[in-house]
Structure 1
């Protein structure tokens, strides 16, 4: 099934103001193979903020609580819409729901690249897309800026969308180190199907730290109270990027905030992210 669009759709009423608009874009048969385009009533840019949710690439917590899906980003999406910035809210198949290797990364790439096809009809410029991802979504965001380095045949190779800038919010950015630290209690092995020794090539094709230098400036921001994804993930990515010759990678450590602060539009973590988005899209 090829991509198709549905006006409105899940989340549209919560995010669009009465004079704005929303559309659900479907790129596959699974319910998670979708992306939402939300347009503010008073648009201040033809660029787009792309938001990618986290959750360690899983469908939800073991106790069956709130799903790990695009709805996690609703509050910060509203904040960007109020600032006049269009939002592309992406989803993808999770581990345990048809995801894992290579499906999750293939979905992420398809959702990102679909914006290039959708943007012109909405009066948007997909070459001016800032990709923001939280936690596992931070992996996707930073990975999106390294896809041009992927060999032919790898999931996500030959990208249609190349971000203007990237913010990885508590991103899982070095998958080898994340596996060694057992982040998410086996989350990386769950995504890639094994350890770095068992599936070395998959780590090389999925880890942002292996796909450097990026094609765009990258900010890795983490709260110093984050016990889910430690700040050293950002430092490891930055070290790898600088060794590869990158000069436009930054790391920010926010005092007194934890993992969920990135989803709170009143937090300092979000303020840093928001500033990058507005600056990249030249919104003042």
Structure 2
């Protein structure tokens, strides 16, 4: 049985695919978006497009600083979410003494986004960290990547891109070395997610992301699951009440990763929805922040 069919079967026992906002105890997308948003004075362009920039969150003190590379979610679509929704957790990590290299990129609903642009942007922004590390006193010996939702897919993809065949426009000869990845409410197995009708992102997002209409094997250089084993430690952190990226999605990827010999950890957080994972006041985020701090030391 294909993994996507298994995923559909697992989802039959879950709540309907609706927003977590249906449960008043959970943090909703709308509530998080309207909060007063912290900002950083450090914005660094890595290309000429308005979406090709990094927001750098620097802790107080002389450094050098442990560094987390961060990628926002939003179903790979700017109309859903952009970098700003991760400002809350980026600022929280900054206050904990961890620098955050928070990446913006062209999305599938923007000119130049999709395949290969979205992936090339994320790769270029990650590699630009090395260029600016000395200026901002960023440590590069133990860079940890993390991402929320669609951003988690991109974070895991960064760990895998060194394995991409030279014939692909996404091939990398000298990619930034990552020490670990933390996937937060992610969708790491694109093929399985698409077989389950795209889960919370719907059936159209992934085909646009991977250029499915023009390619015969569009997952081989875009899906972390197709590039296993990744060869570094990673954490799959999901909320038990997440209806956008359900536990079944992360679990299926974790099982596949373990079977391929990777060192992966699966953590399911109780009473946690999709946006509780990136709200800095929650127990869920406190756990994730602790993991990121430990890994980047």
Scaled by the length of structure 1, the TM-score of the pair is 0.85
Match of residue 50 from structure 1: 69
Match of residue 78 from structure 2: 59
Aligned residues: 256
Q: Does 1:33 align with 2:52?
A: yes
Q: Does 1:250 align with 2:265?
A: yes
Change (3 A) 1:135 1:180: same
Residue correspondence of structure 1 range 236-275 to structure 2 within 5 A:
236-246=252-262, 248-275=263-290
CA distance in 2: counterparts of 1:118 and 1:277, whole angstroms: 21
Q: SS of the counterpart of 1:57?
A: coil
Match of residue 192 from structure 1: 210
CA distance in 2: counterparts of 1:106 and 1:253, whole angstroms: 31
Residue correspondence of structure 1 range 226-237 to structure 2 within 5 A:
226-237=242-253
> Are the equivalent residues in 2 in contact too, given 1:135–1:171 (CA < 8 A)?
yes
Q: CA deviation at 1:43?
A: 6.0
Residue correspondence of structure 1 range 148-227 to structure 2 within 5 A:
148-154=162-168, 155-183=170-198, 184-185=201-202, 186-194=204-212, 199-227=215-243
**What is the root-mean-square deviation of aligned Cα atoms in Å?**
1.8
CA distance in 2: counterparts of 1:48 and 1:102, whole angstroms: 27
Q: SS of the counterpart of 1:50?
A: strand
CA distance in 2: counterparts of 1:107 and 1:267, whole angstroms: 31
CA distance in 1: counterparts of 2:133 and 2:78, whole angstroms: 28
CA distance in 1: counterparts of 2:97 and 2:106, whole angstroms: 30
Scaled by the length of structure 2, the TM-score of the pair is 0.81
Q: CA deviation at 1:42?
A: 3.0
Change (3 A) 1:37 1:103: same
Q: CA deviation at 1:153?
A: 4.0
Match of residue 25 from structure 2: none
Q: Which has the higher contact order (CA 8 A, sep 6+)?
A: 2
CA distance in 2: counterparts of 1:210 and 1:50, whole angstroms: 22
> Are the equivalent residues in 2 in contact too, given 1:43–1:86 (CA < 8 A)?
no
> Are the equivalent residues in 2 in contact too, given 1:45–1:84 (CA < 8 A)?
no
Change (3 A) 1:44 1:268: farther
115, 123, 143: which one aligns with 1:101: 115
CA distance in 1: counterparts of 2:272 and 2:64, whole angstroms: 30
Q: SS of the counterpart of 2:245?
A: coil
Change (3 A) 1:200 1:85: same
CA distance in 2: counterparts of 1:57 and 1:222, whole angstroms: 19
Q: SS of the counterpart of 1:139?
A: helix
Change (3 A) 1:273 1:243: same
> Are the equivalent residues in 2 in contact too, given 1:162–1:215 (CA < 8 A)?
no
CA distance in 1: counterparts of 2:257 and 2:163, whole angstroms: 13
CA distance in 1: counterparts of 2:233 and 2:60, whole angstroms: 29
Which segments of 5 or more consecutive residues in structure 2 lack a partner in the other structure?
Answer: 1-36
Match of residue 72 from structure 1: 85
Q: SS of the counterpart of 1:259?
A: coil
Q: SS of the counterpart of 1:31?
A: coil
CA distance in 1: counterparts of 2:180 and 2:76, whole angstroms: 22
Q: SS of the counterpart of 1:226?
A: coil
